[in-house]
Structure 1
Amino acid sequence: MFEQLLNASLVILSLAMLGCLYRLLKGPSMPDRIAALDAIGINLLAVVAVLCVQYRTQTYMDTILVIGILTFIGTTAFARYMERGKVIEHGNDESAR
């Protein structure tokens, strides 16, 4: 029963990733595409977590952490680019003084 639930969750997560992939490719605006990319990263993280439970291993826990960190950094960088037009600002920084 538990194996069937894990398999069903993998199918549902895969369908969610396909829906997000559609939104990533056809999104009407850039913020929609950024949100879809973030959702794909979170769904990928969930798939790896379900596989860890299904195979009864802790081998990929580091992979889950790396996916989470990269998803967060990528979303933050895209949002900053959308807001300011630059990811890293050079030059005069008034807050550093």
Structure 2
Amino acid sequence: MTPFELGFEILLIVLSLSLLLCFIRLYLGPDVPDRTVSFDLIASHAVGMFALYAVRTGSRELLDGAIVTTLLGFLGTLMLARYLERRGLQEEE
């Protein structure tokens, strides 16, 4: 195993542990904004894992998956922010 491959393995392990912490925050989050941030972090971690695995295996198709995951994560965060904004406006009325 080369140092480059070892670096990939270490990065995947660190990303996996960090992803687990993000899922815990998503589950335990006291309110919706905390869950929104954790959802965004989960999407970012997924993109990082897709990219690392794509570089490791030389698969270009996985990079397409990373791009789609980025877009879906952004749209999910955008929808949750819009929901929070509308909910705040309804509470003021």
Q: Say which SS state the counterpart of residue 61 (structure 2) adopts.
A: coil
The one-letter code matched in structure 1 to 2:48 is: A
Task: Give ranges in structure 1 of 5+ residues lacking alignment.
Answer: 86-97
- The equivalent of 1:62 in structure 2 is 64
**Per-residue Cα deviation, 1:74-96 (whole angstroms, up to 9, x for no partner):** 000000001113xxxxxxxxxxx
- Coordinate RMSD, CA, aligned: 0.7
- The equivalent of 1:19 in structure 2 is 21
**Per-residue Cα deviation, 1:46-89 (whole angstroms, up to 9, x for no partner):** 0010000111221211111100000000000000001113xxxx
Residues 1:6 and 2:8 aligned together: yes
List structure 1 segments (4+ residues) > 4 angstroms apart after TM superposition.
Answer: none
The one-letter code matched in structure 1 to 2:15 is: L
Q: Structure 1: how far apart are the matches of 2:23 and 2:83? A: 21
The one-letter code matched in structure 2 to 1:20 is: C
2:32 to 30, 33, 40: 30
More helix by share: 2
The aligned length equals: 85
Identity of aligned residues (%): 35
Q: Structure 1: how far apart are the matches of 2:61 and 2:77? A: 26
Larger radius of gyration: 1
